[in-house]
Amino acid sequence: AKQPTPGGGAAAAIGGAIGSAAASMAAAYTQRKKDKETGAAAKAELLIQSMTISPMLQAADDDAAAYVDLQRTWKDSDMSVEEKTAIEARALSIPTVLLESCHERICEIRDFLPHCNKNITSDAKVGIHQLAGAARAAYQTVLVNSPPEEEKMRLSKLLKEIRDLEDEILS
């Protein structure tokens, strides 16, 4: 049967969960004796705690539910303006918060990279790239929800910061 989910926002959230898991795994391998002695293990533990995937998975479910509600706004002619406005705001909020979360997580991984087990930094960087893709995918979902121009500009700035960071770790 034809199903509208997972749509772009849910797919972006799942991508973010995968990126978070990759970074968390790299941090888990930064627990050696010498990592404990240098303080790298403590930094790794903080990264692991911040990379929990449950909020990303919840965002996928929330996006799917928001889309079902959004579809109702197109069909229910008796829906109040207030309810329609609230549903549209929620449909915009979910991918916006997801993009912000991806940006925040990418910055946390970037800050952890100098402390990461050198044999596994590539996996932490994969986390960055996966989260960057999730952020760009979330932005596509933001755009389809017609955000105000100033919000588009703010989110575009976050994407540029992500792109710059990716360029830096690729060089």
What pTM was estimated for this model as a whole? 0.94
Give the per-residue pLDDT at 19: 98
- The phi-psi region of residue 76 (left if phi > 0; otherwise alpha if psi is between -120 and 50; otherwise beta) is beta
pLDDT digits (tens, 9 = 90+) for 115-152: 999 999 999 999 999 999 999 999 999 999 999 999 99
Listed in sequence order, the residues at least 6 apart from 55 whose beta carbon sits closer than 8 Å to its beta carbon are 101
Burial group, residue 139, by CB count within 10 angstroms (0-12, 13-18, 19+): buried
| List of residues 6+ apart from 94 with CB closer than 8 A | 9, 59, 62, 63, 66, 141
pLDDT digits (tens, 9 = 90+) for 49-62: 999 999 999 999 99
How far apart, in whole angstroms, are the C-alpha atoms of residue 121 and residue 141?
Answer: 30
